[in-house]
């Protein structure tokens, strides 16, 4: 069952060597969709990177386990404890008995007050700057440039040069998940969503923030996937880093308010009357 049956069907997509995007969509209005992605790294010790949103739970399970056999999964990397990244977490823990959950102290504390207890013996707590050896590659954790949860850690795979940027680079899309085929107007929406996700950007010291973003860019990713945006490569990736750098000290991008709610209610009433 899906909560959004009218959403376009999507399939896992190989976006870099050994690296699969697990896509889903939620409606965003005006013909646009919000991507709700996660990722699988199918190396010697397969890694599930985030577990989707609760509304996509059944779809997520079907897609993720079409890419990797549950008993082969050795690691579950949880970027942070937000609900849209933990949708199938307990299904994965149950179905993947050989998997260790990679999270951190504060995510564990936050999850403890809203979810069943996590198994202490099946966890590893890692912080930005730490690494995770998964057999044929050593993954690097970092704090992404844009985030909406304090526990957030991104993941960089130096072997495939693929990066999981979590809630950074969010952008509504009319359908495509490849930034290189999206028009400039659609990609401009990334600035709005980045501002919405991390509204503290208005207080940032530009020089210090740019140093942080530069350090992430210097990891050398060729492919950047994120939970709520299109896959970024080449020029689109350069533009995305420039977009977040430009947010330092910039005013908040205004978001829709009561007027949008009023118009949504009005159109619902018109539909009901029709
Ligand atoms: Fe989040
Ligand atoms: Fe998210």
Q: DSSP characters for 189-237?
A: HHHHHHHHH-GGGGG--HHHHHHHHHHHHTT--SEEE-SSS-BEEHHHH
Residues 37-53: tens digit of each pLDDT: 999 999 999 999 999 99
Q: How far away, in angstroms, is 272 Cα from ligand 1 center?
A: 34
pLDDT of 1 above 60:
no
- Establish if 224 belongs to a structural domain: yes
Protein residues within 5 Å, CB atom, of ion ligand 2: 84, 167, 227
> What is the residue range of 66's domain?
13-273
Residue 67 CA to residue 89 CA, distance in Å, equals 17
Q: What is the mean pLDDT of residues 59-77?
A: 98
Q: Which ligand is nearest to the CA of 150?
A: 1
- Establish if 4 belongs to a structural domain: no
Q: Which ligand is nearest to the CA of 170?
A: 2
Residue 89 CA to residue 57 CA, distance in Å, equals 9
Q: How far away, in angstroms, is 252 Cα from ligand 2 center?
A: 19
Q: How far away, in angstroms, is 137 Cα from ligand 1 center?
A: 26
- Supply the angle between the helices 234-246 and 206-217 in degrees, to the nearest 10: 160
Q: How far away, in angstroms, is 82 Cα from ligand 1 center?
A: 5
Query: How confident is the model at residue 196, as a pLDDT?
Result: 98
- Establish if 104 belongs to a structural domain: yes
Give the model's confidence band at 269: pLDDT under 50 very low, under 70 low, under 90 confident, else very high.
confident
Pairing of strands 25-29, 32-35: antiparallel
Residue 59 CA to residue 9 CA, distance in Å, equals 10
Query: How confident is the model at residue 47, as a pLDDT?
Result: 99
Overall pTM surpassing 0.85 (yes/no): yes
Give the model's confidence band at 29: pLDDT under 50 very low, under 70 low, under 90 confident, else very high.
confident
Q: How far away, in angstroms, is 46 Cα from ligand 1 center?
A: 23
| Mean pLDDT for all residues in the chain | 96
Q: Which ligand is nearest to the CA of 110?
A: 1
Give the model's confidence band at 270: pLDDT under 50 very low, under 70 low, under 90 confident, else very high.
confident
Specify whether the CB–CB gap between 187 and 208 falls below 8 A: no
Residue 53 CA to residue 4 CA, distance in Å, equals 12
Query: How confident is the model at residue 2, as a pLDDT?
Result: 57
Query: How confident is the model at residue 84, as a pLDDT?
Result: 98
Q: How far away, in angstroms, is 136 Cα from ligand 2 center?
A: 28
- Establish if 1 belongs to a structural domain: no
User: Phi/psi class of residue 8: alpha, beta or left (left: φ > 0; alpha: ψ in -120 to 50)?
Assistant: beta
Residues 230-254: tens digit of each pLDDT: 999 999 999 999 999 999 999 999 9
Residue 37 CA to residue 7 CA, distance in Å, equals 14
Q: How far away, in angstroms, is 273 Cα from ligand 2 center?
A: 36
Query: How confident is the model at residue 4, as a pLDDT?
Result: 80
Q: What is the mean pLDDT of residues 189-200?
A: 98
Q: How far away, in angstroms, is 122 Cα from ligand 1 center?
A: 23
Q: Which residues of 111-146 are buried (b: 16+ CB within 10 A; e: fewer)?
A: beeeeeebeeeebeebeeeeebebeebebbbbbbbb
Specify whether the CB–CB gap between 145 and 216 falls below 8 A: yes
Q: Which of 180, 166, 160, 127 is nearest to 244 (CA)?
A: 166
Residue 171 CA to residue 177 CA, distance in Å, equals 10
- Establish if 2 belongs to a structural domain: no
CATH number for position 124:
3.60.15.10
Q: How far away, in angstroms, is 34 Cα from ligand 1 center?
A: 13
Q: What is the mean pLDDT of residues 105-127?
A: 97
- Establish if 6 belongs to a structural domain: no
pLDDT of 126 above 90:
yes
DSSP state of 68: S
Q: Which residues of 147-157 are buried (b: 16+ CB within 10 A; e: fewer)?
A: bbbebbbbbbb
Q: How far away, in angstroms, is 193 Cα from ligand 2 center?
A: 11
Number of domains forming the structure of the chain: 1
What are the contacts of 124-131 at 24+ separation with CB within 8 A?
Answer: 124/100, 126/102, 126/153, 127/153, 128/153
């Amino acid at each position: 069952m899906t909560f959004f049956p009218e959403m376009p069907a999507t399939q896992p997509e190989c976006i870099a060597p050994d690296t699969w995007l697990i896509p889903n969509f939620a409606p965003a209005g005006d013909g646009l969709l919000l991507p709700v992605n996660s990722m699988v790294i199918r190396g010697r010790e397969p890694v599930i990177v985030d577990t989707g949103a609760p509304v996509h739970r059944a779809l997520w399970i079907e897609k993720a386990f079409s890419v990797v056999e549950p008993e082969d999964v050795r690691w579950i990397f949880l970027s942070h404890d937000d609900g849209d990244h933990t949708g199938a977490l307990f299904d994965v823990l149950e179905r993947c008995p050989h998997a260790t959950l990679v999270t951190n102290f504060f995510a564990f504390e936050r999850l403890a007050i809203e979810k069943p207890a996590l198994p202490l013996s099946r966890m590893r707590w890692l912080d930005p700057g730490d690494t995770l050896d998964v057999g044929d590659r050593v993954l690097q954790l970092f704090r992404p440039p844009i985030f909406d949860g304090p526990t957030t850690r991104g993941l960089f795979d130096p072997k495939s040069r693929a990066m999981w940027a979590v809630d950074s680079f969010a952008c509504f899309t009319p359908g495509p998940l490849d930034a290189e085929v999206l028009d400039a107007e659609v990609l401009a929406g990334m600035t709005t969503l980045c501002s919405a996700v991390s509204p503290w950007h208005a207080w940032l010291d530009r020089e210090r923030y740019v140093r942080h973003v530069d350090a992430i860019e210097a990891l050398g990713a060729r492919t950047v996937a994120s939970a709520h945006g299109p896959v970024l490569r080449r020029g689109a990736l350069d533009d995305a880093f420039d977009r977040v750098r430009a947010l330092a000290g910039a005013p908040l991008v205004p978001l829709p308010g009561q007027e949008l709610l009023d118009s949504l209610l009005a159109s619902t009433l018109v539909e009901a009357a029709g």
